Amino acid sequence: MLLDRRKLLRGAGVSIALPLMESLLPKSAAAVEEASRTPRLVTIAEPFGVVQERFFPATTGRDYEMSPTLKPMERVKSDFTVFSNLDHDVRGGHQANHTLWSGIKNTDRASYPDGNITVDQRAAELVGYNTRYPSLVFWAEKNSYTRTGVAVPAIKAPSEAFNLMFLDDNEDKRRFDRETITASGSILDAVLADANSFKRKLGSTDRKKLDEYFASIRDTEKKLKLAESWIEQPKPTVNDSTLKKIGSGARDDKTGGNLLGVWLDQISLSLKKDSTLVDSNAINNCNWGLDGVVDSFHTLSHHGQVEEKLRQLEIVETYMMENLAVLIERLKSTQQPDGSSMLDSTQVLFGSGLGSGSRHSNTNLPIILAGGGFKHGQHIDGQQKQPLCNLFLSVLQEMGAEQDYFNRSKGTFTGLV
């Protein structure tokens, strides 16, 4: 079943433009370079923290020794940076897990200029107009939020994601989409008429707020017009027979050991085919189906230093790092029109809103940043001297954001070149 278009538009917005197609690129060197350097962002969240003693390296700098959990990442060591002692200074255990990519609790969003917008959705505002989908959110929900505090609906089955990106709609579906966009435009007209009718009764402060609201509606109108232009545009094709099986539902398995690799396949495809420039994946609580692992992710996270649970967690965490390394390698091996790798222009963030699931701690979060043109190959200890949002501000500036703050930030991240 395809993801309901109205659900997607409601949660993610409808910033649309033609995809980047190499055959249509201008042939000037400057144009090719600009197209190759189109910034992309991938976020991968896991919900239950890590065994910190195994995750964080014992030494810092560029000569650090890989920790046991990070050992599968050895072959891509020069392509990522691992951070320690970074967090958002929030508390709440599982109830604060949703702050990972924003730093802001839902209940505190009114106190911040941009609410609790997450780094991926801010990136989608910056570059989302370049692709069919401003962003794609996979697997688990409540990890990605718009500036209005709306949790972006997640695509929960790999087949839904695959068909959304690569299966052309039939005429009935296209007619439905056209009617939906027309109806949305009519609703906006009605809202504007009602708002204009009482504007003269408002004070200056409320009038300013209403003007901002009008500007938002006009922006939405433009996005709806762009969305309509996509309806007749054919979607990219995938010729690999193995990958095509994803669309049939053959790999819609509830076992995490199967799903994680499939979702990362979807991320790679979505970027290579220019379906989106911003991917967000959040690992759900699951039974992993890995050899030697019998308990669910959540159960294992509450290990209480029990040796058997720690043994199983070691398998799970090693498996996650192996898959992250594979994604980094795939992006690195994908060549851009100017000869650079896709990893050069793609930032990959991995992290958890919990530092330790066993202690329900939201401090010292496990954070990895790969790609994006940064000089990697190091372990940086933030020493709790700067908020994690400083790193996100640096990420957003690499995405083209002309801003000097992001939520809880106090500046860009120091120590990252």
Q: Are residues 115 and 131 in the same domain?
A: yes
Residue 187 falls inside a structural domain: yes
Residue 67 falls inside a structural domain: yes
Q: Are residues 123 and 247 in the same domain?
A: yes
Question: What gap in Å lies between CA 12 and CA 336, rounded to an integer?
Answer: 27
Both tokens of 302, joined, read 């509450």
Q: Are strands 278-282 and 40-45 parallel, antiparallel or unpaired?
A: parallel
Q: Which of 233, 257, 277 is a domain's end point?
A: 233
CA distances 97 to 47, 74, 103, 394, Å, are 7, 28, 10, 22
Q: Are residues 286 and 373 in the same domain?
A: yes
Q: Are residues 252 and 369 in the same domain?
A: yes
Residue 50 falls inside a structural domain: yes
What mean pLDDT value characterizes the chain?
A: 86
Check whether 85 has a pLDDT greater than 90: yes
Residue 217 falls inside a structural domain: yes
What is the layout of strands, in order, in the sheet containing 80-84? Answer: 136-139, 278-282, 40-45, 346-351, 367-371, 80-84, 378-381
Q: Which of 112-126, 218-232, 403-417 has the lowest mean pLDDT?
A: 218-232
Domains in the chain, number? 2
Residue 240: pLDDT band (50, 70, 90) is confident
Check whether 181 has a pLDDT greater than 70: no
Residue 403 falls inside a structural domain: no
Q: Let me know if 302 is exposed, middle or buried by CB neighbors in 10 A (0-12, 13-18, 19+).
A: middle
∠ CA 356-361-366, rounded to 5°: 50
Q: Are residues 252 and 394 in the same domain?
A: yes
Q: Are residues 206 and 329 in the same domain?
A: no
Q: Are residues 44 and 186 in the same domain?
A: no
List of residues 6+ apart from 342 with CB closer than 8 A: 40, 271, 272, 331, 332, 334, 335, 336
Check whether 14 has a pLDDT greater than 50: no
Query: Mapping DSSP to helix (H, G, I), strand (E, B) and coil, where does residue 250 land?
Result: coil
Residue 407 falls inside a structural domain: no
Residue 412 falls inside a structural domain: no
Q: Are residues 92 and 215 in the same domain?
A: no
Q: Which of 35-39, 74-78, 345-349 has the lowest mean pLDDT?
A: 35-39
Q: Are residues 111 and 211 in the same domain?
A: no
Question: What gap in Å lies between CA 376 and CA 77, rounded to an integer?
Answer: 8
Q: Are residues 221 and 263 in the same domain?
A: no
pLDDT digits (tens, 9 = 90+) for 366-397: 999 999 999 999 999 999 899 999 999 999 99
Q: Which of 215, 233, 251 is a domain's end point?
A: 233
Q: Are residues 178 and 105 in the same domain?
A: no
Check whether 19 has a pLDDT greater than 50: no
Q: What is the mean pLDDT of residues 273-301?
A: 96
Q: Let me know if 217 is exposed, middle or buried by CB neighbors in 10 A (0-12, 13-18, 19+).
A: middle
CATH number at residue 59: 3.40.720
The boundaries of the domain holding residue 270 are 5-168+240-398
Q: How far is CA 368 from the centre of its chain?
A: 14
Residue 409 falls inside a structural domain: no
Q: Are residues 21 and 140 in the same domain?
A: yes
Q: Which of 213, 233, 253 is a domain's end point?
A: 233
Q: Are strands 367-371 and 346-351 parallel, antiparallel or unpaired?
A: antiparallel
